[in-house]
Amino acid sequence: MVQGQALSTVKILAVVSTSLVAVAGLMWATQRKLIYFPTQTVGTATAISIDSEKVTFTTDDGLTLSAWWVPATEDPNGTTIVVFHGNGGNRTDRAPLARALAQRGYGVLLMDYRGYGGNPGSPSEAGLLLDAKAAVAYAISRHDVDPDKLVYFGESLGAAVAIAVAQERPPAALILRSPFTSLTDVASVHYPYAPTALLRDRYLNVETIRKVDVPLLVLAGSQDTIIPIAQSREVFDAASGPKRFVTVAGTDHNDLELAHGPVLIEAVATFLEGIAASS
């Protein structure tokens, strides 16, 4: 009787172990579908009321990616902003941001990652860094771009991309909207029981930004339920060099006020004007 119970226990443990391994394997294989949410249809310039030029550039691993070049529409000041968007949608959703920045005199490169906006490939941490580096190289190659006045603007997951490329090619300034400390930390907030150690993409922002020494602006929503404002503050605290933290009061992660509202645009303009005045 005792021997039979022991065998049953062993069988149960074996089934449980096999199930856990299967679940872990499924999470490993499909986890990027829980991180990246690209959309493929890109709006037309007429439909989204933006003056833009479709451009392309090629990554080091051979992918040709599409982007929009948005020229300054009011009193060009010679500064160019490369926008690295977040994990959802595509560049169409960031057109209002590009338009608002262009109206303040900034040229804007609004790029899409691999797998986004009709671009080939599948997103990953390593892949997005290649895409960002290619976008920066393209911007620098333009005759109407001053490499010494190139600014990176990273939104949410795009903030991680901006930090990573800034480590390799420092910009004149770095602007981060709703940055997180690491992808593991964000996953722990939203999936507290998930085995976050299995994450393939980690985006170690606090660790990386310690190696970046450029003027920094961090913008965060006071009511952000996706990226806790405390994580954005921790990224800010880890950075060296001149820096400024701006809280956009009463805003959640996807609120339009935090995406491209007047408070955000004014903070960006004030920050960049201060850098220009001190240079």
Residue keyed to tokens 């190289």: 137
pLDDT digits (tens, 9 = 90+) for 98-119: 999 999 999 999 999 999 999 9
Residue ranges per structural domain of the chain? 1-34, 39-278
pLDDT digits (tens, 9 = 90+) for 120-175: 999 999 999 999 999 999 999 999 999 999 999 999 999 999 999 999 999 999 99
The confidence score (pLDDT) of residue 79 equals: 98
The confidence score (pLDDT) of residue 22 equals: 38
Assess whether pLDDT exceeds 80 at residue 183.
yes
pTM: 0.89
The confidence score (pLDDT) of residue 7 equals: 54
Assess whether pLDDT exceeds 90 at residue 10.
no
Asked if residue 24 lies in contact with residue 74, where contact means CB atoms within 8 angstroms, the answer is no
In this structure, which topology does domain 39-278 adopt according to CATH?
Answer: Rossmann fold (3.40.50)
- The CB density around residue 265, as the number of other CB atoms within 10 Å, is 17
pLDDT digits (tens, 9 = 90+) for 15-60: 444 433 334 444 545 678 989 999 999 998 777 888 899 999 999 9
Mean pLDDT of the chain: 90
Q: Looking at residues 227-239, what average pLDDT do you find?
A: 98
Q: How far apart are the C-alpha atoms of 97 and 89, rounded to whole Å? A: 14
The confidence score (pLDDT) of residue 228 equals: 97
The number of residues in the chain equals 279
Q: How far apart are the C-alpha atoms of 135 and 138, rounded to whole Å? A: 5
The confidence score (pLDDT) of residue 47 equals: 73
Assess whether pLDDT exceeds 90 at residue 233.
yes
Name the percent of the chain lying above pLDDT 70: 89
The confidence score (pLDDT) of residue 122 equals: 97
- The CB density around residue 230, as the number of other CB atoms within 10 Å, is 11
The three-state DSSP-derived secondary structure of the chain is CHHHHHHHHHHHHHHHHHHHHHHHHHHHHHHHHHCCEECCCCCCHHHHCCCCEEEEEECCCCCEEEEEEECCCCCCCCCEEEEECCCEECHHHHHHHHHHHHHCCCEEEEECCCCCCCCCCCCCHHHHHHHHHHHHHHHHHCCCCCHHHEEEEEECHHHHHHHHHHHHCCCCEEEEECCCCCHHHHHHHHCCCCCHHHCCCCCCHHHHHCCCCCCEEEEEECCCCCCCHHHHHHHHHHCCCCEEEEEECCCCCCCHHHHHCHHHHHHHHHHHHHHHHHC
